[in-house]
Amino acid sequence: MPPIIDIHSHLWAEDWLPETFWDAFVDIAVRQNEKRGKTVDPERIRESYLPTYWDPTGEKLLTRMEEANIDHQVVFGVDFGLALGEPETPVQEVNEIIRDFRNDNPDRISAFATIDPRREGAADHIDTALGEWEMDGLKLHPTAGFYLHDEETYEVLDVVREHGKPVLTDTGPVFAPLYSKYSHPTNLDEVLSDFQDLDFIAAHMSFGWWRDLHAIADNKVNSGLHVDISGWQAEVKHHPEEFAKALRWLMDDVGSDRMFFGTDDPAFDPVHPKEEWIETLRELPEREVEPTFTTEEIEQLLGGAAAAFLEKYDSGPYSQ
C-alpha cells in the first residue's frame, strides 16, 4: 500500500497569527451557521472553539496523523503580518519553531518556510531557512497583497532556485480582508515561464477558479507545475460532481504523478475530519459514470506521487 502524504498542512498558535485573522475566523463561523438558520454566540466561538485549533508544539497534529493513518505531512506557517497587522511572534521565529518540529519528527514531518516577500530581508531569511536550517521548501500566500511576478518575490524565488527547493503557493479565492486577485491562477503564468526549472505546487486546485488553473496547466506542460487538492473537504460534499470533474481535468493536464493530496488542516478537520476526506477519495475508483479514476491514480494522489516528489528533494523518510 503506498503511503498517505498530506502535502499542505499548518501549525497554528494564537500569537503566531494576527488578531484580525482570528476575528475573520469567528465572523466566518457565525455566518456559516446563520446560513443554516443557526444562531451562535461569537464570544463562545472565540473562547471555547478557537483554542482547539492552537497547537504550538504540534502534539495535536501528530495525534491526528496517527488516528487518520497519515504517514507524512508537509507543515508550514503563514505570514499575514503585513496584510492584517503583526502577530506577537514574528514569522521568522515561527519558521524556526516549525523547523525544530521537523527535526524532532524527521520521518513524519517536512517543513516549508514562509514569508511575505515584501518584508525587509525576506530573501536573506529564506536563504538561511533553506540553507543553514535545511528547510524543505518555500510556502507563499500571495493573498497578503503581492504577486508571484513582483520584483521582491523574484528575489526570494532566485534564492529558492539556488538551493534547488520546491515552492508551494496559494491559489484560489480567499476570505476578507485578504485579497483574492493576487492568488488567481493566471498569476502563475510568468513564474512558470521565468522559473521553468522550479517546481511549483498550486494549492487548493484554485478552488472555484479550477477551470482557469486548467487553462494554464493545459498549456504550461513544459513547466514545473504541480497541484494540491487541499481545502476541497466541504465542496466535495456539496458538489461531488464538480470536484470529480476538476480532479479529472487537472489530472489529465499535469499528470497523476504531479497531483497531491492535502488537507490545509487544522482549518477543516473539526468539521470535515481527515478520515472522511481520505475515504471520499478512496471511493473515486468505484465511480461508474464519467469522470472515472483508476485505483493507481488515486493511490498516486493520496501519497505515491508525493513520496516520489519528496524523494527527489531528499525530504523526510523518502530521501534516496
Q: Which residues bind Zn ion (CB under 5 A)?
A: 264
**Nearer residue to Zn ion within complex by CB, 6 or 264:** 264
- Residue 135 CB, shortest distance to Zn ion, in Å, is 16
**Segments of 141-184 assigned E as strands:** 167-169
> What single-letter DSSP state applies at residue 18?
-
**Nearer residue to Zn ion within complex by CB, 17 or 160:** 17
- Residue 2 CB, shortest distance to Zn ion, in Å, is 24
In whole angstroms, give the CA distance from residue 318 to residue 311. Answer: 5
Query: Given strand 200-202, what is the order of strands in its sheet?
Result: 5-10, 72-76, 109-114, 137-140, 167-169, 200-202, 225-228, 259-260
- Residue 264 CB, shortest distance to Zn ion, in Å, is 4
**Nearer residue to Zn ion within complex by CB, 76 or 293:** 76
**Nearer residue to Zn ion within complex by CB, 174 or 284:** 174
- Residue 172 CB, shortest distance to Zn ion, in Å, is 10
Residue 195, amino acid: F
- State the residue number with the nearest CB to Zn ion: 264
Helices 210-219/240-254 angle, 10° precision: 10
- Residue 286 CB, shortest distance to Zn ion, in Å, is 29
Q: Which of 59, 56, 52 is nearest to 97 (CA)?
A: 56
> What single-letter DSSP state applies at residue 313?
T
**Nearer residue to Zn ion within complex by CB, 60 or 297:** 60
